Amino acid sequence: MRPYTRTMLALSCLATAPALYAADAPAPPYTVTANVGLFSQYIFRGLTQTNEKPALQGGFDYSHSSGFYLGYWGSNISWISDFAPGTSASLESDFYGGYKKSWDDWSLDVGLLRYQYFGSYLSGAIKPDTTEIYVAGGWKTVSLKYSHSLGDTFGLCGASGTYYLDLTGTYPIGDFYVLGHAGKQKYKGNCNGANNDVASYNDYKVEGGWSFAKDWTLAVGYTTTDADDGGKTQAFYTPASTNKFIGDSFGYVYVKKTF
């Protein structure tokens, strides 16, 4: 063998050795992912949170092979200052953790979620910070989730026991999908002598999306509620500062990247 050929062979072996060792290394017991998206507006449970204006959203998730997970998600909002001019709270921060397990076509997810709205509030105001526990069951691409409030709920005092029921189904078609959703927001208790049930409503959504490039999603959708009763419920969701009903029928579009 010629000397330079032997040298080249040795260098080649050294170059491939790290790849061989890396292939033998065990995979870490956890994964960390992140996401960021630009939305034409932020709609939560059928209600626009940004007065029909764009929203920048993003977060990250830590998942362990045991099934336990932690995460954070955030978005700009305007609904708090829309309902209470003089209040400055333009960011929603969600902190959550739980346990999720899948077997065959079934899945189970239980956890706790804290909605936090940092900012300055008027004296005596009831802060909209909310804590919910949730349990979700899934079969293939259909899921049913129950979220239960542990206290004051999105600014309504004495609303412990308020719940949200979420039924969602997704149908994949190659790189595309179609999604359907129905939800029920049921308020409990009394706040300052008024029955919180006036805030209860149902919401519905259809969405179609396309996964393209590497971990990008482009989607369009339509959402509506039955809170437009022309009475107390509609008035409850119509801030005086804008006189715009936030539970109206809306279309939306967004693009999102997952890392």
Q: Is 254 exposed, middle or buried (CB count within 10 Å of its CB: 0-12, 13-18, 19+)?
A: buried
Is CATH 2.40.160.40 correct for 30-258? yes
Half-sphere exposure of 90 (CA within 13 A, CB side): 8
Domain extents in the chain:
30-258
**196 Cα distance to chain centroid:** 25
Q: Dump the DSSP string for 155-206.
A: TBTT-TT-EEEEEEEEEEETTEEEEEEEEEEE--SEETTEEGGGG-EEEEEE
Helix, strand, coil share (%) of the chain residues, nearest 5: 15, 55, 35
Cα–Cα dist 57/76, whole Å:
7
At which residue do the structure tokens 């509620």 appear? Answer: 225
pLDDT tens for the chain, residues 1 to 259 = 444 343 333 334 434 445 444 556 788 999 999 999 999 999 999 999 999 999 999 999 999 999 999 999 999 999 999 999 999 999 999 999 999 999 999 999 999 999 999 999 998 889 999 999 999 999 999 999 999 999 999 999 999 999 999 999 999 999 999 999 999 999 999 999 999 999 999 999 999 999 999 899 999 999 999 999 888 999 999 999 999 999 999 999 999 999 9
pTM here is: 0.89
* Neighbour count for residue 252 (Cβ, 10 Å): 20
